């Protein structure tokens, strides 16, 4: 049986009225259904590639509560004044109209892996042949004593982009002259390894113009961090004297916060801050744990050849919530993993050709206006994990032309990947 | 005739020999002794015939249609202040391409292997001895060997021709489509280019030449060297076959 676009649209139209009725197995027999939980970079990519490449042979249903997704990547550039907030947002219309993905704006609140159904917050459930779980991150409760979500309006994390990012920016802009911006950095592993340090760079850039006597304090439980030499060189060059980092040797690993008094207690000593960005320790998005897909690390282990859950062969876990080996938790990684999973799922369900897995990642960071750096690696599945094959990183002391080109390349990448994930805006 | 319009070349020439200069592993130029690159006097004739319509060289040379070429050796690509280089050449310069024996040789053998959208309307010189003579001539108009010990200017490049069977490989576009998913993270499928060049609708021989040049680390750019570095000949051919099809 082959499908063309007209058949496919007819089928989609027909199914609209019945898709959410509690008779999923009937639909599943008509066309195998793949349910994707989470419409971030990993989830939207896998949904788009499954729908696009199967040409209607698969019923792809994407569950995502928000109507508009704001990428974490480039949200620091918004903080620094280099990117519009609106340009971070991406809707799901292209996935629905161009690719025929059934986009369901709802919460997935439970997975019955024996019955192969996903329960929806709005009521009812949907059945699946294969399930893809890509819920991103949640925070480890109690990892920063004194902080929980009830105080995120005072001390924002801004580590899931959206209103939190806007709040943090508003707080920075309202800082008193000569005030202090503090960041509680997360322990490994966490989303976007260079993210906190790019954020510090962008906050410094903003403050240097509007509030040049302000100070930035990083309280960090880690000995070292991603692109450290590049960031430290850039901070010295562009923001000399503004940024102080307290590592574990000086109590960076012994921190609590007091949101009501805007204090950070470092090794027993309280410091006042005007803005306090708390980025707690992280774990897989809650639904992954609810579905029984995580282990005692809090992340969901997968096999390196295909991103399949080690705990259920019918389930795939993508992106930040997966424990796969050497790849960093990044949008680029999630996009790369999603393509591997889509290829495997399609081969599973439609008999299409399966090609060996290939993974790659590159992370660009902006240190100051036109001063971009990058780090990247290619990866291959080894016996028990995804292993790094080759890597590169920008060098200290690079000339300004190369740094500017790297920055321009990162903008090209943003446009490229968001078109690849959410579909290009219709011409 | 070496000089022709690139468009015509794209349409007419199929997998003409893709010639790349590649350092033989483990042997640096310095170890090769001081064999002359070629015959500079014969090179002067080559220059007059193939280059002089657009380039000047020597004392008092100025930029014409092309930039002046005095001191080209050890000069970063696109480095002459005020000359209006193509974006592609500027990109290569910013990426770190420096004109040395190997990179110039590869560029002169097949300009688009090194700089995909170069504005230089020139097919290249497939004939290696002729190219070496030209290089010797260019070399004579650059700083002398003693001044730049690291560039080993008097040593012969170790030339390596992409085996004809590799250049003639016809890729599997379906495999190419799968492999291209990796490219699509950065290079836009609709051929738009902003900060990252477009790669759609590109003639397969050029695509292959460029990828092999990255793989051989002749073309600078860390991401592309890494990406190309783990593609084998068949995979490069598959990608070339796929990208030639789309966006046309």
Q: How far apart are CA A190 and CA A199, in angstroms?
A: 15
Confidence bin at B33 (pLDDT 50/70/90): very low
Residue A14 is predicted with a pLDDT of 44
Q: How far apart are CA A138 and CA A160, in angstroms?
A: 9
Mean pLDDT to the nearest integer, B187-202: 85
Residue A89 contacts residue A70 (beta carbons within 8 Å): yes
Question: Any idea which architecture B6-161 has in CATH?
Answer: Orthogonal Bundle (1.10)
Taken in order of first residue, the domains within chain A and their CATH numbers are 5-138+283-356 (3.50.50.60), 141-280 (3.50.50.60)
Residue A134 contacts residue A191 (beta carbons within 8 Å): no
Mean pLDDT to the nearest integer, B152-169: 60
- Min CA distance, A43 vs chain B (Å)? 15
Residues of chain B with CATH 1.10.760.10: 6-161, 165-245
What value, to the nearest 5°, has the Cα angle with vertex A118 and ends A112 and A122?
130
Confidence bin at B195 (pLDDT 50/70/90): confident
- Both structure tokens of A7: 């058949």
- What is the three-class DSSP state of B155? coil
Residue A206 is predicted with a pLDDT of 97
Residues with Cβ < 8 Å from A61, sequence gap 6 or more? Answer: A19, A33, A34, A35, A36, A101, A102, A104, A126, A128
Query: What is the sign, positive or negative, of the torsion defined by CA atoms of B91, B96, B101, B105?
Result: negative
- Both structure tokens of B84: 């209006």
DSSP code for B47: I
Q: Do the chains contact at B188 and A49, CB–CB below 8 Å?
A: no
- Min CA distance, A394 vs chain B (Å)? 9
Does the model's ipTM exceed the 0.90 cut? no
Residue with tokens 């032309």: A401
Confidence bin at B144 (pLDDT 50/70/90): low
Nearest to A419 among B91, B188, B230 (CB): B188
Residue A277 contacts residue A183 (beta carbons within 8 Å): yes
In this structure, the strands spanning A89-91 and A215-219 are unpaired
A137 Rama sector, left if φ>0, alpha if ψ -120 to 50, beta otherwise: beta
Residue B38 has pLDDT above 90, yes or no: no
Residue A61 contacts residue A35 (beta carbons within 8 Å): yes
Residues with Cβ < 8 Å from A33, sequence gap 6 or more? Answer: A24, A27, A58, A59, A60, A61, A126, A127, A128, A129
For residue A263, how far is the Cα from the chain centroid?
29
Which residues from A are below 8 Å from B190, CB to CB? 419, 424, 427
Residue B136 contacts residue B35 (beta carbons within 8 Å): no
Whether residue B230 lies within 8 A of chain A, CB to CB, comes out as: yes
- What is the three-class DSSP state of B161? strand
Residue-wise pLDDT for A253-304, tens only, equals 999 999 999 999 999 999 999 999 999 999 999 999 999 999 999 999 999 9
Q: How far apart are CA A340 and CA A355, in angstroms?
A: 8
Q: Please report, for residues A15, A25, A46, the alpha-carbon distance to residue A21 in angstroms, rounded to integers and kept in the order given.
A: 10, 11, 24
Mutate which of A345, A366, A420, A423 to test chain B, going by most B C-beta atoms within 10 A?
Answer: A420
CATH number for the domain whose boundaries are B165-245: 1.10.760.10
Mean pLDDT to the nearest integer, B105-109: 91
B150, HSE (Cβ side, Cα atoms, 13 Å):
3
Q: Could you tell me what percent of chain B has a pLDDT over 70? A: 77
Query: What is the sign, positive or negative, of the torsion defined by CA atoms of B126, B132, B134, B139?
Result: positive
List per-residue pLDDT tens for chain A, 427 residues long: 344 444 444 444 444 444 444 444 444 458 999 999 999 999 999 999 999 999 999 999 999 999 999 999 999 999 999 999 999 999 999 999 999 999 999 999 999 999 999 999 999 999 999 999 999 999 999 999 999 999 999 999 999 999 999 999 999 999 999 999 999 999 999 999 999 999 999 999 999 999 999 999 999 999 999 999 999 999 999 999 999 999 999 999 999 999 999 999 999 999 999 999 999 999 999 999 999 999 999 999 999 999 999 999 999 999 999 999 999 999 999 999 999 999 999 999 999 999 999 999 999 999 999 999 999 999 999 999 999 999 999 999 999 999 999 999 999 999 999 999 999 864 4
Q: How far apart are CA A282 and CA A185, in angstroms?
A: 11
Nearest to A402 among B96, B187, B193 (CB): B96
Q: Which residues of A75-102 are buried (b: 16+ CB within 10 A; e: fewer)?
A: bbbbbbebbeeeebbbbbebbbeebbbb
Q: Which helix (H) or strand (E) holds B98?
A: strand B98-99
Residue B166 is predicted with a pLDDT of 84
Residue A201 contacts residue A80 (beta carbons within 8 Å): yes
For residue B193, how far is the Cα from the chain centroid?
21
Nearest to B184 among A402, A410, A420 (CB): A420
The A-side interface with B (CB below 8 A) comprises 49, 332, 335-336, 339, 343, 353, 355, 358, 360, 362, 374, 376-378, 389-392, 401-402, 404-405, 408-413, 415-417, 419-420, 424, 427
Q: Which residues of A242-272 are buried (b: 16+ CB within 10 A; e: fewer)?
A: bbebbbeeebbbebebbbeebbbbbeeeeee
Residue A255 contacts residue A279 (beta carbons within 8 Å): no
Backbone angles phi, psi at A337, to 5 degrees: -65, -35
Q: Please report, for residues A21, A145, B134, the alpha-carbon distance to residue A128 in angstroms, rounded to integers and kept in the order given.
A: 14, 40, 67
Residues with Cβ < 8 Å from B99, sequence gap 6 or more? Answer: B72, B73, B74, B75, B76, B77, B107
Whether residue B201 lies within 8 A of chain A, CB to CB, comes out as: no
Q: In what order do the strands lie in the sheet with A386-393?
A: A359-368, A371-381, A386-393
Mean pLDDT to the nearest integer, B159-185: 84
Q: A128-142, B121-135, B204-218 — which one is most confidently predicted on average?
A: A128-142
Is the omega angle on the peptide bond into residue A189 within 30 degrees of 0, that is, cis?
yes
Q: How far apart are CA A43 and CA A321, in angstroms?
A: 11
Q: Do the chains contact at B190 and A405, CB–CB below 8 Å?
A: no
Residue B202 has pLDDT above 50, yes or no: yes
**Is pLDDT larger for residue B202 or for residue A113?**
A113
Q: How far apart are CA B72 and CA B66, in angstroms?
A: 13
Closest by CA position to A360, among listed A386, A338, A333: A333
Q: How far apart are CA A321 and CA A132, in angstroms?
A: 11
Residue B158 contacts residue B24 (beta carbons within 8 Å): yes
For residue A160, how far is the Cα from the chain centroid?
8
- Both structure tokens of B214: 């990255």
Query: What is the sign, positive or negative, of the torsion defined by CA atoms of A101, A106, A112, A117?
Result: negative
Confidence bin at B165 (pLDDT 50/70/90): confident
Residue B1 has pLDDT above 60, yes or no: no
Q: Do the chains contact at B195 and A413, CB–CB below 8 Å?
A: yes
Q: How far apart are CA A303 and CA A385, in angstroms?
A: 7
Residue A180 contacts residue A266 (beta carbons within 8 Å): no
């Amino acid at each position: 049986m082959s499908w063309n676009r007209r058949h496919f649209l007819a089928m989609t139209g027909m199914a609209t009225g019945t898709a959410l009725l509690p008779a999923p197995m009937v639909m599943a027999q008509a066309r195998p259904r793949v349910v994707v939980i989470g419409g971030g970079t990993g989830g939207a990519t896998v949904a788009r590639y499954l729908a696009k490449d199967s040409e209607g042979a698969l019923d792809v249903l994407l569950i995502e509560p928000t109507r508009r997704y704001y990428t974490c990547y480039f949200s620091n550039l918004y903080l620094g004044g280099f990117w519009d907030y609106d340009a971070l947002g991406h809707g799901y219309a292209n996935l629905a109209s161009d690719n025929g993905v059934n986009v369901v704006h709802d919460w997935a609140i439970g997975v019955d892996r024996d019955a192969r159904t996903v329960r929806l917050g709005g009521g009812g459930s949907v059945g699946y042949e294969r399930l893809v779980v890509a819920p991103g991150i949640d925070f480890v409760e109690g990892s920063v004593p004194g902080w929980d979500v009830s105080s995120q309006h005072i001390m924002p994390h801004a580590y899931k982009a959206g209103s939190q990012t806007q709040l943090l920016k508003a707080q920075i802009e309202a800082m008193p002259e000569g005030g202090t911006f503090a960041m509680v950095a997360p322990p490994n592993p966490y989303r976007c390894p260079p993210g906190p340090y790019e954020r510090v760079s962008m906050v410094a850039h903003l403050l240097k113009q509007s509030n040049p006597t302000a100070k930035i304090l990083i309280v960090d439980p880690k000995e070292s961090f991603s692109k450290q030499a590049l960031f430290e060189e850039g901070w010295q060059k562009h923001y000399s004297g503004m940024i102080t980092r307290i590592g574990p040797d000086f109590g960076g690993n012994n921190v609590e916060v007091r949101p009501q008094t805007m204090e950070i207690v470092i090794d027993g000593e309280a410091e006042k801050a005007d803005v306090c960005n708390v980025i707690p320790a992280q774990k897989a998005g809650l639904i992954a744990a609810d579905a029984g897909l995580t282990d005692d690390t809090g992340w969901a282990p997968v096999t390196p050849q295909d991103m399949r859950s080690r705990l259920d062969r019918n389930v795939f876990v993508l992106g930040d919530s997966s424990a796969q080996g050497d790849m960093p938790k990044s949008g680029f990684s999630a996009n790369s993993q999603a393509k591997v999973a889509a290829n495997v799922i399609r081969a599973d369900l439609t008999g299409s050709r399966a090609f060996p897995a290939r993974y790659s990642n590159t992370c660009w960071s902006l240190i100051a206006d036109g001063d971009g750096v990058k780090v990247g690696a290619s990866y291959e599945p080894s016996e028990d994990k995804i292993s790094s094959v080759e890597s590169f990183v920008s060098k200290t002391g690079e000339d300004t032309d190369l740094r500017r080109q790297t920055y321009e390349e990162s903008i090209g990448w943003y446009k490229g990947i968001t078109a690849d994930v959410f579909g290009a805006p219709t011409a | 005739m070496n000089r022709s319009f690139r468009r015509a070349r794209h349409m007419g020439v199929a997998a003409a020999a893709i010639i790349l200069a590649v350092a033989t592993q483990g042997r640096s130029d310095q170890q090769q002794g001081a064999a002359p690159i070629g015959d500079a006097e014969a090179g002067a004739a080559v220059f007059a015939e193939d280059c002089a319509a657009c380039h000047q060289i020597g004392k008092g040379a100025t930029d014409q249609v092309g930039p002046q070429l005095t001191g080209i050796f050890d000069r970063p690509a696109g480095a002459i202040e005020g000359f209006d280089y193509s974006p592609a050449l500027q990109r290569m310069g910013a990426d770190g391409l420096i004109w040395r024996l190997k990179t110039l040789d590869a560029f002169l053998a097949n300009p688009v292997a090194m700089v995909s959208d170069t504005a230089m309307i020139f097919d290249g010189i497939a004939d290696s001895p002729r190219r070496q003579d030209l290089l010797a001539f260019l070399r004579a108009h650059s700083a002398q060997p003693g001044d730049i010990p690291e560039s080993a200017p008097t040593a012969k490049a170790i030339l390596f021709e992409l085996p004809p069977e590799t250049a003639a490989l016809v890729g599997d576009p379906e495999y190419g489509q799968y492999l291209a998913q990796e490219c699509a993270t950065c290079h836009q499928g609709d051929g738009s280019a902003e900060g990252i060049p477009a790669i759609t609708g590109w003639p397969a021989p050029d695509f292959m030449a460029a990828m092999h040049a990255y793989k051989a680390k002749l073309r600078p750019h860390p991401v592309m060297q890494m990406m190309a570095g783990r593609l084998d000949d068949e995979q490069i051919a598959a990608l070339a076959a796929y990208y030639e099809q789309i966006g046309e």
